[in-house]
Amino acid sequence: MLILTRKLGESITIGDDIRITFLEAKGKQVRIGIEAPPHIAVHREEIYQLIREQNIKAAKGDTIEKDTLPDVLEGLKNLLLKDQ
Amino acid sequence: MNIATSRFGQIDVDESKIIDMRGGILGFEHLKKYILHMQDEKNPFWWFQSLDDGKVAFVVINPFIAKHDYEPVIDDNDRKLLEIENAEHVVLLAIVTILQNPFSVSVNLRAPIVVNAEKKIAKQVVLEDQTYAIRYYLTTAGSGDEAFTARDN
Protein backbone atom coordinates (compact mmCIF):
# COMPACT_ATOMS: atom_id res chain seq x y z
CA MET A 1 0.00 0.00 0.00
CA LEU A 2 1.35 3.44 -0.93
CA ILE A 3 1.09 5.77 2.08
CA LEU A 4 1.09 9.53 1.67
CA THR A 5 0.37 12.40 4.01
CA ARG A 6 -1.68 15.31 2.68
CA LYS A 7 -3.00 18.52 4.16
CA LEU A 8 -6.69 19.32 3.92
CA GLY A 9 -7.46 20.76 0.53
CA GLU A 10 -4.64 18.84 -1.13
CA SER A 11 -5.14 16.07 -3.69
CA ILE A 12 -3.79 12.83 -5.06
CA THR A 13 -4.09 11.74 -8.68
CA ILE A 14 -4.37 8.12 -9.78
CA GLY A 15 -3.60 7.41 -13.43
CA ASP A 16 -4.64 10.17 -15.79
CA ASP A 17 -8.30 10.34 -14.92
CA ILE A 18 -8.78 10.07 -11.20
CA ARG A 19 -8.29 12.73 -8.55
CA ILE A 20 -8.95 12.45 -4.84
CA THR A 21 -9.16 15.57 -2.68
CA PHE A 22 -9.19 15.65 1.12
CA LEU A 23 -11.80 18.21 1.98
CA GLU A 24 -12.48 18.10 5.68
CA ALA A 25 -11.64 16.13 8.81
CA LYS A 26 -14.02 15.98 11.77
CA GLY A 27 -13.18 13.71 14.68
CA LYS A 28 -12.66 10.25 13.21
CA GLN A 29 -14.30 11.05 9.89
CA VAL A 30 -12.74 12.36 6.71
CA ARG A 31 -14.67 13.94 3.88
CA ILE A 32 -13.16 12.97 0.54
CA GLY A 33 -13.93 14.33 -2.94
CA ILE A 34 -13.46 11.94 -5.87
CA GLU A 35 -13.26 12.91 -9.51
CA ALA A 36 -13.31 9.95 -11.86
CA PRO A 37 -14.76 9.16 -15.29
CA PRO A 38 -18.23 7.54 -15.24
CA HIS A 39 -17.02 4.09 -16.24
CA ILE A 40 -14.87 3.83 -13.12
CA ALA A 41 -16.89 2.53 -10.17
CA VAL A 42 -16.26 4.26 -6.85
CA HIS A 43 -17.67 2.61 -3.75
CA ARG A 44 -17.35 2.45 -0.02
CA GLU A 45 -15.12 -0.60 0.34
CA GLU A 46 -17.30 -2.65 2.67
CA ILE A 47 -20.39 -2.24 0.46
CA TYR A 48 -18.43 -3.16 -2.63
CA GLN A 49 -17.24 -6.35 -0.93
CA LEU A 50 -20.71 -7.30 0.27
CA ILE A 51 -22.21 -6.86 -3.18
CA ARG A 52 -19.38 -8.71 -4.82
CA GLU A 53 -19.86 -11.65 -2.43
CA GLN A 54 -23.61 -11.64 -2.93
CA ASN A 55 -23.19 -11.71 -6.72
CA ILE A 56 -20.85 -14.68 -6.42
CA LYS A 57 -23.30 -16.53 -4.16
CA ALA A 58 -26.11 -15.81 -6.59
CA ALA A 59 -24.18 -17.14 -9.60
CA LYS A 60 -23.19 -20.41 -7.99
CA GLY A 61 -25.08 -22.88 -10.13
CA ASP A 62 -24.39 -25.79 -7.83
CA THR A 63 -26.55 -24.56 -4.95
CA ILE A 64 -29.71 -25.81 -6.61
CA GLU A 65 -30.08 -28.88 -8.75
CA LYS A 66 -30.68 -28.13 -12.41
CA ASP A 67 -33.88 -30.18 -12.30
CA THR A 68 -35.44 -28.74 -9.16
CA LEU A 69 -34.77 -25.08 -9.91
CA PRO A 70 -37.65 -24.71 -12.38
CA ASP A 71 -40.00 -26.09 -9.70
CA VAL A 72 -38.57 -23.75 -7.09
CA LEU A 73 -39.07 -20.79 -9.41
CA GLU A 74 -42.58 -21.97 -10.23
CA GLY A 75 -43.47 -22.04 -6.52
CA LEU A 76 -41.97 -18.61 -5.95
CA LYS A 77 -43.78 -17.15 -8.90
CA ASN A 78 -47.10 -18.16 -7.38
CA LEU A 79 -46.12 -16.53 -4.12
CA LEU A 80 -45.25 -13.23 -5.76
CA LEU A 81 -48.13 -13.04 -8.19
CA LYS A 82 -50.60 -13.71 -5.38
CA ASP A 83 -50.15 -10.12 -4.21
CA GLN A 84 -50.83 -8.57 -7.59
CA MET B 1 -25.24 -17.42 -32.82
CA ASN B 2 -25.05 -20.55 -30.72
CA ILE B 3 -23.66 -20.77 -27.23
CA ALA B 4 -23.09 -23.65 -24.80
CA THR B 5 -24.53 -23.02 -21.34
CA SER B 6 -24.44 -25.14 -18.18
CA ARG B 7 -28.12 -24.70 -17.38
CA PHE B 8 -29.78 -24.75 -20.76
CA GLY B 9 -27.36 -26.65 -22.94
CA GLN B 10 -26.90 -25.18 -26.42
CA ILE B 11 -28.98 -22.09 -26.93
CA ASP B 12 -29.55 -20.03 -30.01
CA VAL B 13 -28.90 -16.36 -29.37
CA ASP B 14 -30.55 -13.54 -31.28
CA GLU B 15 -27.62 -11.16 -31.69
CA SER B 16 -29.83 -8.11 -31.66
CA LYS B 17 -30.78 -9.00 -28.08
CA ILE B 18 -27.25 -9.10 -26.67
CA ILE B 19 -26.76 -6.77 -23.72
CA ASP B 20 -23.41 -5.09 -23.18
CA MET B 21 -22.52 -4.73 -19.48
CA ARG B 22 -20.51 -1.56 -18.97
CA GLY B 23 -18.21 -2.31 -16.08
CA GLY B 24 -19.56 -5.82 -15.65
CA ILE B 25 -21.25 -7.33 -12.62
CA LEU B 26 -19.14 -6.87 -9.46
CA GLY B 27 -17.03 -9.98 -9.06
CA PHE B 28 -17.47 -10.83 -12.75
CA GLU B 29 -15.92 -7.76 -14.32
CA HIS B 30 -14.36 -9.79 -17.13
CA LEU B 31 -17.78 -10.86 -18.44
CA LYS B 32 -19.33 -8.25 -20.72
CA LYS B 33 -21.99 -9.82 -22.93
CA TYR B 34 -25.25 -11.19 -21.59
CA ILE B 35 -28.64 -12.27 -22.81
CA LEU B 36 -31.91 -12.08 -20.93
CA HIS B 37 -33.58 -15.45 -21.15
CA MET B 38 -37.16 -16.16 -20.16
CA GLN B 39 -37.94 -19.78 -19.50
CA ASP B 40 -41.67 -19.38 -19.32
CA GLU B 41 -43.76 -16.35 -20.23
CA LYS B 42 -45.72 -16.37 -16.98
CA ASN B 43 -42.78 -16.74 -14.62
CA PRO B 44 -41.36 -13.42 -13.42
CA PHE B 45 -37.98 -15.01 -12.70
CA TRP B 46 -35.72 -14.67 -15.71
CA TRP B 47 -32.15 -15.63 -16.44
CA PHE B 48 -29.32 -13.24 -17.14
CA GLN B 49 -26.98 -15.54 -19.01
CA SER B 50 -23.34 -14.70 -19.71
CA LEU B 51 -22.28 -15.24 -23.31
CA ASP B 52 -18.60 -15.02 -22.41
CA ASP B 53 -18.80 -17.86 -19.88
CA GLY B 54 -21.58 -20.38 -20.39
CA LYS B 55 -21.35 -21.45 -16.74
CA VAL B 56 -22.36 -18.04 -15.40
CA ALA B 57 -26.04 -17.17 -15.22
CA PHE B 58 -28.01 -15.12 -12.70
CA VAL B 59 -31.64 -15.50 -11.76
CA VAL B 60 -33.11 -12.01 -12.01
CA ILE B 61 -36.47 -10.42 -11.39
CA ASN B 62 -38.09 -7.08 -11.94
CA PRO B 63 -37.50 -5.59 -8.45
CA PHE B 64 -40.89 -3.85 -8.43
CA ILE B 65 -42.52 -7.27 -8.27
CA ALA B 66 -40.58 -8.03 -5.09
CA LYS B 67 -41.11 -4.59 -3.56
CA HIS B 68 -43.97 -2.54 -4.98
CA ASP B 69 -42.74 0.80 -3.66
CA TYR B 70 -39.13 0.40 -4.84
CA GLU B 71 -37.84 3.83 -5.80
CA PRO B 72 -34.15 3.66 -6.71
CA VAL B 73 -32.37 6.87 -7.62
CA ILE B 74 -30.04 6.52 -10.60
CA ASP B 75 -27.46 9.29 -10.57
CA ASP B 76 -26.40 11.44 -13.53
CA ASN B 77 -23.07 9.70 -13.96
CA ASP B 78 -24.81 6.39 -14.49
CA ARG B 79 -27.46 7.93 -16.74
CA LYS B 80 -24.67 9.26 -18.92
CA LEU B 81 -22.80 5.98 -18.94
CA LEU B 82 -25.92 4.12 -19.93
CA GLU B 83 -26.82 6.78 -22.54
CA ILE B 84 -30.31 7.05 -21.10
CA GLU B 85 -32.36 9.54 -23.08
CA ASN B 86 -35.81 8.33 -22.18
CA ALA B 87 -36.82 6.89 -18.81
CA GLU B 88 -39.19 4.51 -20.60
CA HIS B 89 -36.20 2.63 -21.98
CA VAL B 90 -34.90 1.77 -18.53
CA VAL B 91 -35.46 -1.78 -17.28
CA LEU B 92 -34.33 -2.83 -13.83
CA LEU B 93 -33.27 -6.35 -12.94
CA ALA B 94 -32.50 -7.43 -9.40
CA ILE B 95 -30.23 -10.42 -8.89
CA VAL B 96 -31.88 -13.26 -6.97
CA THR B 97 -29.89 -15.51 -4.62
CA ILE B 98 -31.39 -18.94 -4.00
CA LEU B 99 -29.70 -21.02 -1.34
CA GLN B 100 -30.26 -24.50 0.07
CA ASN B 101 -29.84 -25.74 3.63
CA PRO B 102 -31.65 -23.74 4.81
CA PHE B 103 -33.69 -22.77 1.80
CA SER B 104 -33.83 -19.03 1.24
CA VAL B 105 -34.51 -16.64 -1.59
CA SER B 106 -33.32 -13.06 -1.49
CA VAL B 107 -33.32 -10.22 -3.99
CA ASN B 108 -30.52 -7.63 -4.20
CA LEU B 109 -32.32 -4.30 -4.12
CA ARG B 110 -29.19 -2.33 -3.27
CA ALA B 111 -27.39 -3.07 -6.51
CA PRO B 112 -29.83 -3.55 -9.38
CA ILE B 113 -28.75 -4.16 -12.95
CA VAL B 114 -29.95 -1.08 -14.81
CA VAL B 115 -30.58 -1.76 -18.49
CA ASN B 116 -31.02 0.73 -21.30
CA ALA B 117 -33.35 -1.57 -23.24
CA GLU B 118 -33.14 0.53 -26.38
CA LYS B 119 -29.36 0.66 -26.66
CA LYS B 120 -28.85 -2.74 -25.02
CA ILE B 121 -26.31 -1.50 -22.47
CA ALA B 122 -26.40 -2.20 -18.77
CA LYS B 123 -24.58 -1.68 -15.51
CA GLN B 124 -24.87 -2.98 -11.99
CA VAL B 125 -25.57 0.24 -10.09
CA VAL B 126 -24.83 0.38 -6.37
CA LEU B 127 -27.44 2.67 -4.86
CA GLU B 128 -26.45 5.28 -2.32
CA ASP B 129 -29.73 4.78 -0.49
CA GLN B 130 -29.11 2.48 2.44
CA THR B 131 -32.76 1.65 2.95
CA TYR B 132 -32.60 -0.96 0.21
CA ALA B 133 -31.22 -4.31 1.32
CA ILE B 134 -28.55 -6.31 -0.45
CA ARG B 135 -30.59 -9.31 0.69
CA TYR B 136 -34.28 -8.58 0.60
CA TYR B 137 -35.78 -11.91 1.60
CA LEU B 138 -38.77 -13.37 -0.12
CA THR B 139 -38.77 -16.29 2.32
CA THR B 140 -39.00 -16.20 6.12
CA ALA B 141 -36.01 -17.56 8.02
CA GLY B 142 -36.14 -21.30 8.52
CA SER B 143 -38.91 -21.77 6.00
CA GLY B 144 -39.22 -25.06 4.23
CA ASP B 145 -42.83 -26.01 4.01
CA GLU B 146 -43.95 -22.88 5.84
CA ALA B 147 -45.78 -20.14 3.99
CA PHE B 148 -43.41 -17.61 2.48
CA THR B 149 -43.73 -13.94 3.32
CA ALA B 150 -41.66 -11.12 1.92
CA ARG B 151 -39.65 -9.14 4.42
CA ASP B 152 -36.59 -6.92 4.70
CA ASN B 153 -33.33 -8.05 6.15
Taking 90 as the threshold, does the pLDDT of residue B82 lie above it? Answer: yes
In whole numbers, what is the pLDDT of chain A averaged over residues? 84
Supply the pLDDT for residue B141: 53
Amino acid making up residue A63: T
Model confidence over B35-79: pLDDT tens digits? 998 877 788 889 999 999 988 999 999 999 989 999 999 988 889
Residue of A20, A43, A11 whose CA lies nearest to B123: A43
Q: What are phi and psi for residue B121, nearest 5 degrees?
A: -125, 150
Are residues B114 and B63 in contact, defined by beta-carbon separation less than 8 angstroms?
A: no
* Residue to test with chain B: of A76, A78, A83, most B Cβ within 10 A: A76
R_g of chain B, CA atoms, integer Å? 16
Q: Which ipTM score applies to this complex?
A: 0.85
pTM score of the predicted model: 0.82
* Residue to test with chain A: of B103, B126, B137, B149, most A Cβ within 10 A: B126
In whole numbers, what is the pLDDT of chain B averaged over residues? 86
Q: Buried b / exposed e across B13-42, counting CB within 10 Å, b at 16+?
A: beeeeebebbbbbbbbeebbbbbbbeeeee
Say whether domain B2-137 belongs to CATH 3.40.50.1000. Answer: no
The whole-number average pLDDT for the span B29-39 is 91
Amino acid making up residue B124: Q
Given an 8 Å threshold on Cβ–Cβ distance, is A55 in contact with B95?
yes
Given an 8 Å threshold on Cβ–Cβ distance, is B7 in contact with A58?
no
The whole-number average pLDDT for the span B127-150 is 69
Out of A39, A48, A64, the one facing B26 most closely (by C-beta) is A48
Please calculate the CA angle A60-A66-A72 and round it to the nearest 5 degrees: 90
Amino acid making up residue B121: I
Question: Which of A29-38, B5-14, B20-29, B57-66 is the least confident region?
Answer: B5-14
Chain A positions touching B77 (Cβ under 8 A) are 38
In chain B, where the domains are located: 2-137
Please calculate the CA angle B68-B74-B79 and round it to the nearest 5 degrees: 135
